[in-house]
Structure 1
Amino acid sequence: MDVSLPPEDLQNIFDALPDVVFFIKDTGCRYTHVNLTLLRRLGLRNREELIGRTAAQVFPERLGGTYLMQDQRVLDGEVIENQLELHLYANRAAGWCLTFKRPLMGGQAVAGLIGISRDLGMPDSRHSSFTRLQRALEHMQSNYGAPLRVQTLADIAGVSVAQLERLFKRVFQLTPQQLLTKLRIEEAMRLLHTDVNIAGIGQACGFSDQSAFARQFKATVGIPPRDYRALVRGSHAQRPRPPQARSGRAG
């Protein structure tokens, strides 16, 4: 039985999910279908304002070009699964999400791409393992600038490494490594609003060298640290603010 839905029906379904961005793009990386969440976060009123445009045309220049390059990789056949990203929108503070993108096939050829970005929410504090995982999280929050072994976190939580990985995804929606990356990038963003030099920021946030810091920052935020600093200094009206660090939450 064919249970596939037309793009318009998918769009209407995702309209009801305020914590999920949904989109379909054609082979020119132009939006063909979007949900209301994406419109609102871009400060737009009608889908017609976004349909037919690329990410490079609706996001700040430094970000839009990077998002466009990611779309091209997907059109070339790459599948993006569960990628931790920090999205910067014109009308809101930075927001953490998990992104999924895959090519859309039309017969034997790629006809476009489809994707969602799901906001990270509050951790599941009612889970039976929350308290022990909270101890591991607090250790990460206090020591993100130093090398951290997953085994050490597992020992603090009193579970095996395999259990730690499974429980972190269940409670925090992230793996331990993703959560550590999130903590490090949040602190790096905060420091990039200051005059601390970029090499020093990378070292303070636990990266082995400046190139490793730049690669991880770009993979997560969409632009290199230097461009992020220029972005936040270049427009006071639309300045993307780093997420507020909050004890005990993953997003």
Structure 2
Amino acid sequence: MKYESIIAQITTQQIIAMFDLLSDLIFWIKDDTGRVIHCNQEFVRHVGRKSIGQVLGHSDLDFSPTYLARNFMMDDQRVMAGEIITERLELNIGRSGELAWFTTSKRPLKNAQGEIIGTYGVARNLKKTVKTLSGMEKIKKPVEYIKNNYVRNITIEELAEVASLSVSALERRFKKYLKKTPMQFLREIRLENSRRMLVETQMPVSEIAYSSGFASHSYFSRHFKAMFGFLPANYRAEVQLES
């Protein structure tokens, strides 16, 4: 058929180049050592470089503060082991140098034999996503409210009131635009902040749990491991070992 003939003529390079059409999407491909082997122009701009040539062959340590780079590299190792990461919230550096929230997805990169030879992924700035997607205005306020008050005991009813929506309507909009419920979003915000504190501070794990908004140390540890693959204390030890 005609469409099959057209598909057969499309090269991998052409497909990769299509990512440059998405100005709000950061896209990259890394080898098994964590070095960038391809990316789109938005990635180049995101890391403050002028050309793709200034990016290729470099790792996260060349673009981000050490604690963030170590987090990204540990995630890559988990993906290299076969894990997938989908629409996860994480802290990153915005284009102007400030810390910003991104939704990130990562997958293992495989060769023709099915062997994992690297990773690839995409990320979107959450603030830009909220501003640009039609219909997101109704969850802009609860998103900002969560980011500014995650340490508090926030209820779903409180978030619904902030958004001027019913609880069910709020949950539907979060699922539609962020692929998660409001309480899942809140938990991920707390977990990512706790991960930052584990690396940046020497605070006891229990204190970090409470400072991140978790009322229970065991609940915190269980969800931290589910999200990052390590218990909090083990994660801190692993990052220090890599430093």
TM-score range, shorter chain: 0.5 to 0.7
Hey, what's the Cα distance between the residues in 2 that align with 1:200 and 1:54?
32
CA deviation digits over 1:196-243, x for unaligned, max 9?
x88777535522267949x86xx79xxx9xx9xxxxxxxxxxxxxxxx
Alpha carbon RMSD of aligned pairs, Å? 4.6
Instruction: Report if aligned partners of 1:20, 1:117 keep a CA contact under 8 Å in 2.
Output: yes
The structure 1 residue matched to 2:166, chosen from 126, 147, 158, is 158
C-alpha separation in 1, matches of 2:214 and 2:167:
27
Larger helix share, 1 or 2: 2
Q: Post-superposition shift, 1:22?
A: 0.3
Paired position in structure 1 for 2:91: 86
Q: 2:213 aligns with which of 206, 209, 213?
A: 206
The CA distance in 2 between the partners of 1:135 and 1:47, in whole Å, is: 36
- Which of 99, 117, 125 lines up with 1:111 in the alignment? 117
Deviation at 1:89, TM superposition (A): 5.2
Output the amino acid matched with 1:24. Answer: I
Provide the C-alpha distance between the structure 1 equivalents of 2:12 and 2:191, rounded to a whole number of angstroms. Answer: 35
Shift of 1:141: 7.6
- TM-superposed CA distance for 1:37, in Å, is 1.2
Contact 1:124 1:171 in 2 (8 A): no
- What corresponds to 2:200 in structure 1? none
Question: What does 1:1-20 align with in structure 2 at a 5 Å threshold?
Answer: 1=4, 3=7, 6-20=11-25
| CA–CA separation in structure 2 for the residues paired with 1:92 and 1:134 | 22
- The TM-score with structure 1 as length reference comes to 0.63
Task: Give the distance between the partners of 1:142 and 1:70, measured in 2 at CA.
Answer: 26
Shift of 1:80: 0.7
Partner Cα distance (1:29, 1:74) in 2: 11
Aligned to 1:45: 50
- Say which SS state the counterpart of residue 21 (structure 2) adopts: coil
In the aligned structure 2, how far is the partner of 1:119 from the partner of 1:96? 6
| Aligned counterpart, 1:28 | 33
Q: Deviations over 1:134-190 (max 9, x none)?
A: 886798689644434547756984344xx54322233566530244247658998xx
% identity of equivalent residues? 29
Count, aligned residues: 217
User: Counterparts of 1:51 and 1:103 in 2: how far apart (Å)?
Assistant: 19
For 1:103 and 1:204, locate their aligned partners in 2 and report how far apart those are by CA, in whole Å: 34
Name which structure has the greater RCO, CA cutoff 8 Å, separation 6+.
1
Question: Contact conserved, 2:89 with 2:192, CA < 8 A, in 1?
Answer: no
Distance 2:81 2:143 in 1: 38
Return the alpha-carbon distance in structure 1 between the equivalents of residues 120 and 148 of structure 2. 38
- Note closer, same or farther for the CA distance 1:53–1:144 as it changes in structure 2 (3 Å cut): closer
- Provide closer, same or farther for how the CA distance between residues 147 and 91 of structure 1 changes in structure 2, counting only shifts above 3 A: closer
Instruction: Tell me how far apart the structure 2 counterparts of residues 201 and 21 of structure 1 sit (CA, whole Å).
Output: 31
Residue 15 of structure 1 aligns to a residue whose secondary structure is helix
Q: 1:23 to 1:12 in 2, by over 3 A?
A: same
Q: Secondary structure at the match of 1:28?
A: coil
Distance 2:52 2:131 in 1: 33
Q: Residue 106 of structure 1: CA displacement?
A: 1.3
CA distance in 2, matches of 1:52, 1:128: 37
Structure 2 Cα separation of the partners of residues 60 and 204 of structure 1: 22
